[in-house]
Amino acid sequence: MTDTIANRAAKATPQKVARKIKGLSDRAIAWIFVAPTIFLLLAINIFPLIWTIQLSFTNYKANRLNREPEFIGLRNYERILTDSDIWLNMQATAHFLFWTIALQVLIGFTLAWLINKKFKGNDLWTTIIVLPMMLSPAVVGNFWKFLYQPQIGLFNYIIAFFTGKEPSSFEMLGSVQLAPWSIVIVDTWMWTPFVMLICLAGLRSIPDYIYEAAEVDRASKLRQFFTITIPMVLPFLMLAVLFRGIENFKMFDLVVQLTGGGPGSTTELTSINLKREAFEKWRTGYASAYAIILFVTVFGLASIYVKALNKVKER
Amino acid sequence: MSAYSVTEPSTRSKWFAGSLVILYALITMIPLAWIMLTGFKSPSDAISYPPKVVFEPTLEGYVNLFTTRTRQTQDFLEANPPQNWADEIVREYDMVIVGPSKFGERFLNSVIIGFGSTFLSIFLGTLAAYAFSRFKIPLADDLLFFILSTRMMPPIAVAIPIFLMYRNLGLSDTHLGMILLYTAVNISLAVWLLKGFIDEIPREYEEAALIDGYTRFQAFYKVVLPQAATGIASTAIFCLIFAWNEYAFAVLLTSATAQTAPPFIPTIIGVGGLDWPAVAAGATIFLLPVMIFTILLRKHLLRGITFGAVRK
C-alpha cells in the first residue's frame, strides 16, 4: 500500500536529509540566530563609530542645524594633540587610574586573602562587602557628595573625630589638593570588592596539594606566599586590573555627580572634558576627533595588556 | 579529632582574618546605612552638626519625594483640614500637597526601559550565544571579540553620533530609543555570558533529541533553553542592573518623557537648596532592588562582572 511505502521511504531517508526537510538547515539557523545581534551592533555601534570618524574631519556644530559642515582635514586632531589643557585632563585621568587601581589591588587582594582563611560566616560577609559595586555610580556619587559636605557631612566628621581637626576646616570636594583624592576614595570604596572577588577566585583555584608539597619540602609560609600564592593569583589580578583600567578610563557618572570636574578642572577626567566639548560647547567635529583619540588609546592599551596577560597565563 | 591539614588555617588566624574582614564590611556599610537613615530624618536633622545618629524618624523625606507642595495662607489651611498622614506632615511647614512629583514617573521609566532592554538583549543574546556555542560560524572568534570591543568605547564618545542619529530618526527622549541603546550595550555581556552557560550543557542532550525526531529549533527551545534557565536568569539580572544604573546616556539623550531615575534623583530640590532627606529617600528606593538582586545573584556574581572570563 502507498502508506507503507511512504513509511519505508521515510525510514530509508538519511538522518541529515530528513532533518533538512523537517526544519531549516543548521547553517541557516546559525545565521538567523546571529544576524539580529550583528545587525543591532552595526546600527547602534559601528555606524555611529564610522560617523564619528567622518565628523572628526569637519568643523560641524550640532546646535547649528542649517550650517553645512566643512571638511577641515586633520586640523581637529592637530589641535587636540597640541592643546596643553587636554594634557592636564590626561594627567587627572592618569592620577585617578593609578591610585584607584593601586589601592583596589592592595585592599582587594588583602581582603580576599583574609576571606580565604575560611573563617565561619565568610560567605555572608563577602556578600555584604560586594554590595557597593552593584549600585548606580551616579546615585553613589550623589550621596557621597552629601557625606563630603564640609560642615554637616559624616565623612568630614569622622576624619575630624580621629585627627582632631575642625570638620569645616577642609573641603574634600572644594579644594584643589583634596578633590582628586575624594574621587579616588569613592571609587576605591565602590570597586575594591570587584578586585577582591576576582582575587578570591584565584586563591580558591590553587589546589591544596601544591601547598602540601611545599610543606613537605619545608618551604616557609612566607616563601610559599611569594612562590605559590602570588604567581598563581597574578593572572586573575591582571584581569581585574584590565577591567578596572578600561572602566575607569571611561569614568564619567560617578565623578560628574561628585565634583562635576571641579574645582576648576582639577578632577576633569577626559570623559567629562569630552562631554563639555560635545554637549556644552557643541564643538561636535572637535569632540568627535577627541572621542576617536580616546577610543584608540583604550583599545591600544588594552590590546598590549591582553598580550602581556596571555604571556603570564602561559607561564 | 579531625586529621591534621597543612592547608587548614589555625583557629587563631581564622579569628584574626574574620575580625578584620568584618571590620572592613562594617566600615564599608557606613555610607549606605547613613543614606538610608537620612531618608527618615527631617531636613533640619539631616544637616545638623554633629551628625545625628539618634533622631526622631519621620516620613517627610518620602512624602517630599513623591509629592509637589505649595505654601498656603493660614486661612486656607484652617478652611481645609488635612485629609491623611502625608497632609499632616507637610502642614507643619504651612504647605499643602498639590499633586504627585515626577519621581514616580521617572521610576516607572527606569522599570520600562530596564525590563524592555533586558528582555530584548536576552532574546537576541540567547539566540546568538546558542549559534556561537553549537555551530561552526566563520570568523567566530573575531565576531565575538568585535561584540566585546563595543563595550570599550567611552559612553560619551558613542553618545555624540547616537545623539545626532536619534535626532534625525525622532528617537531622542523616547522609551524605544533608550531600550534599543541599552540593548546594544548589554548584548555583548549577554552573548558572552550565555555562551559560557550554553557551552556547559552537554551536546548529547540535543543530539538525543535530534535522533528522536526533533528539529534543530525544537531541540533548542525544548532541551537547551530549560537547561540554561539559571544562566539566562542571572544574565538577565546583570542586564537589568546595568540598564537600571546607567547614567551617561540617560542624561544626554533624555530630558522629559523617557528620563530614568539616576539623572533625576540628584535634581530633587527642596526649599533652600537640595532636600537631602528626599534625595536619600529616592536613593534608598532606587538602590534597594539592586541590593536584593545582588544577594540573589551572589553565586554567579563573579562570572557576570568578568563577562564569563572567571568561573567559579
Per-residue pLDDT tens digits for B11-38: 888 899 999 999 999 999 999 999 999 9
Per-residue pLDDT, A260? 87
Identify which of B38, B217, B301 has the shortest CB distance to residue A23.
B217
pLDDT of B271 strictly over 90: no
Instruction: Say yes or no: B152 contacts chain A, CB-CB below 8 A.
Output: yes
pLDDT of B186 strictly over 50: yes
What is the pLDDT confidence band of residue B70, given thresholds at 50, 70 and 90?
A: confident
- CA pair distance B128, A35, nearest whole angstrom: 8
Identify which of A24, A128, A288 has the shortest CB distance to residue B160.
A288
Alpha helices in chain B (DSSP H): 11-38, 43-46, 60-66, 74-79, 85-91, 103-134, 140-149, 155-169, 175-199, 203-211, 216-219, 225-227, 229-245, 248-253, 261-264, 276-297, 301-305
Per-residue pLDDT, A138? 92
Q: Domain-by-domain residue ranges, chain B?
A: 1-101+271-290, 104-267
Contact map slice: B 251-290 vs A, CB within 8 A: 251-252, 262-263, 265-266, 276, 279-280, 283, 286-287, 290
- CA pair distance A247, A298, nearest whole angstrom: 10
Q: Which of A51, A106, A114 to mutate to test the interface with B (most CBs of B within 10 A)?
A: A114
Residues of B in contact with A302 (CB under 8 A): 152
Per-residue pLDDT, B56? 85
Nearest CA in chain B to A51: B161
Instruction: Say yes or no: B292 contacts chain A, CB-CB below 8 A.
Output: no
Q: Encode pLDDT of A27-62 as tens digits.
A: 888 888 999 999 998 888 888 889 999 999 988 888
Per-residue pLDDT, B5? 64
Q: Which residues of chain A have pLDDT under 70?
A: 1-23
Per-residue pLDDT, B45? 84
Residues of A in contact with B132 (CB under 8 A): 34
| Contact present, A61 and B151 (Cβ < 8 Å) | no
Instruction: Say yes or no: B131 contacts chain A, CB-CB below 8 A.
Output: yes
**Which has more pLDDT, A9 or B115?**
B115
Identify which of B160, B181, B216 has the shortest CB distance to residue A19.
B216
Residues of A in contact with B131 (CB under 8 A): 29-31, 33-34
* Beta pairing partners, B95: B71
- From B132's Cα to the closest Cα of chain A, the distance in A is 8
Judged by CB atoms closer than 8 Å, whether chains meet at A33 and B217 is answered as: no
Per-residue pLDDT, A16? 57
Q: Which of A19, A20, A44, A122 to mutate to test the interface with B (most CBs of B within 10 A)?
A: A44
What is the pLDDT confidence band of residue B54, given thresholds at 50, 70 and 90?
A: confident
| Contact present, A137 and A253 (Cβ < 8 Å) | yes
Per-residue pLDDT, A2? 43
Per-residue pLDDT, A272? 92
For CA atoms B163, B169, B174, B175, the dihedral sign is negative
Per-residue pLDDT, A73? 83
Residues of B in contact with A278 (CB under 8 A): 156, 159-160
Residues of B in contact with A253 (CB under 8 A): 247-248, 262
Contact map slice: B 79-118 vs A, CB within 8 A: none
Instruction: Say yes or no: B59 contacts chain A, CB-CB below 8 A.
Output: no
Map residue B245 onto helix, strand or coil: helix
**Mean pLDDT rounded to a whole number for chain B:** 87
Reference B239, options B200, B283, B199, B191; nearest CA is B191
Q: Encode pLDDT of B205-229 as tens digits.
A: 888 998 888 888 888 888 999 999 9
Q: Which of A136, A232, A286 to mutate to test the interface with B (most CBs of B within 10 A)?
A: A136
Per-residue pLDDT, A13? 57
**Percentage of residues in chain B with pLDDT exceeding 70?**
96
What is the pLDDT confidence band of residue B1, given thresholds at 50, 70 and 90?
A: very low
The predicted model gives B167-193 an average pLDDT of 92
Q: Does domain B104-267 have CATH number 1.10.3720.10?
A: yes
The predicted model gives B115-120 an average pLDDT of 96
Judged by CB atoms closer than 8 Å, whether chains meet at A135 and B287 is answered as: yes
Per-residue pLDDT, B272? 57
Per-residue pLDDT, B4? 58
Judged by CB atoms closer than 8 Å, whether chains meet at A154 and B294 is answered as: no
Domain A84-314 superfamily per CATH: MetI-like (1.10.3720.10)
CB pairs under 8 A between A and B: 291
**Which has more pLDDT, B144 or A162?**
A162
